[in-house]
Chains A and B, each alone.
Chain A
Amino acid sequence: MLQVSIYRYNPETDAEPYMQDVQVDTGGKDLMVLDVMELIKAEDATVVYRRSCREGVCGSDGVNMNGINGLACVTPLSKAVRKNKLVLRPLPGLPVIRDLVVDMSLFYAQYEKVQPYLQNHTPAPAIERLQTPEEREKLDGLYECILCACCSTACPSFWWNPERFIGPAGLLQAYRFLADTRDTATEERLARLDDPFSVFRCHGIQNCVNVCPKGLNPTRAIGHIRSMLLSRAT
């Protein structure tokens, strides 16, 4: 029997959050953490969490498993469980709505700030804006982000300044459009990132790289943004 300790909080009935201990029979199989959560929910339907695709594509079920953020659906017990114990908590740093569900408003507000869409004011060509394979290659490792918020909520700089530091997820997307040869708003984008918080609260501790379920590297993207800012200003 797997020992699971799960964070419970229902603001309508609980004065404060508490940890609930549950025993789960995994049948000796190396289930995914989401499977365990489904087994718990089958016994106690009041347990609340987000989930959708259950295969690491939608990014809904980002949770904190034994202290490490990740997607419950693609994290096997063999990777998450320590000494037959699994502690499930909501993503840290964001307000809890209920149980494992967090309010992502701050996260999305930062994403919105980087204007995550292509901007090009030159006349559109008849068919499409073409890129060479080399230009397209620059977007690899950037466009794959699914906005699960595992990285930003693992980042102390985002915990302390979520209104002012854009966070690794937003900055990865900021660089995704800075690196896009079809985007012509590079100058305006860089000008908005020059303050002491938006980019420069990153101290390069790489918690984001450590937890990204898609294996992306926001720290490297932030380094590229810094280099672009520096070469523009010297």
Chain B
Amino acid sequence: MVTPVTSLGRSGLYDWFVQRASAVILLAYFLFVGWTLVCGVDYEAWDALFSQTWMRVFSLLALVSLCAHAWVGLWAVFTDYLTERMLGAAGNALRLLAEAVSAIIMFTYFVWGIQILWGL
């Protein structure tokens, strides 16, 4: 069979592993952020938290995880529903378009996230 060039790692096991690992990182990050918010935080404390390198690294890790997680998930949805079998010949073009739009959105959020975290 032809290995898809648009899947994240071109291996089912790799994509599966990335999706699970990124899910754990995202859970840890959002639990931490949620816990911080529940405990009560003002602007100074929030600013101080995000000026520390470890928090920026943790946030960037979560952002990378979000992009990878979203790509694996969306790729599975696109290759299920936007296909020649489901939509005829237009399916292949639509799938490529959907993948391209998703990739651009994710890349934009990633770069924008770095700008926000490091205050560039």
Binding site for B on A (CB under 8 A): 156-157, 160-161, 164, 193-201, 203, 226, 229-230, 233
Cα separation A199 to B83 with both chains bound (whole Å): 19
Q: How far is the CA of A184 from the CA of B68 in the complex (A)?
A: 36
Q: Name the residue on A nearest B4 (C-beta).
A: A196
For the complex, give the distance between the alpha carbons of A198 and B13 in Å.
11
- Return the chain A residue nearest B15 by Cβ: A196
Indicate the member of B11, B13, B17, B83 with the most A CB atoms within 10 Å. Answer: B13
Contact A200-B15, Cβ < 8 Å, known A161-B80, A195-B1? yes
CB pair B16 A200 closer than 8 Å: yes
Q: Is the CB of A226 within 8 A of B76?
A: no
Cβ of A203: which chain B residues have Cβ within 8 Å of it? 76
Chain B: residues with CB nearer than 8 A to chain A? 1, 3-4, 7, 10-13, 15-17, 76, 79-81, 83, 85-86
Q: When the two chains form their complex, are residues B80 and A194 in contact, meaning their CB atoms are under 8 A apart?
A: no
Bound CA span A226–B20, Å: 13
Which residue of A157, A160, A161, A195 is within 8 Å of B12 (Cβ)? A195
Task: Give the residue of A160, A193, A194, A195 whose beta carbon is less than 8 angstroms from that of B83.
Answer: A160
Closest to A113 in B: B1
Q: Within 8 Å CB of B17, what residues of A? A: 230
The answer to whether A200 and B13 touch across the interface, beta carbons within 8 angstroms, is yes
B11-A161 in contact (CB<8A): no
Contacts of A196 in B (CB 8 A): 3-4, 7, 10-12, 15
Known contacts A160-B81, A164-B1, A230-B17; is A201 also within 8 Å of B76 by CB? Answer: yes
Chain A CB within 10 Å, residue with most, of B15, B79, B81: B79
Expressed in whole angstroms, the minimum distance between the Cβ of A224 and any Cβ of chain B is 14
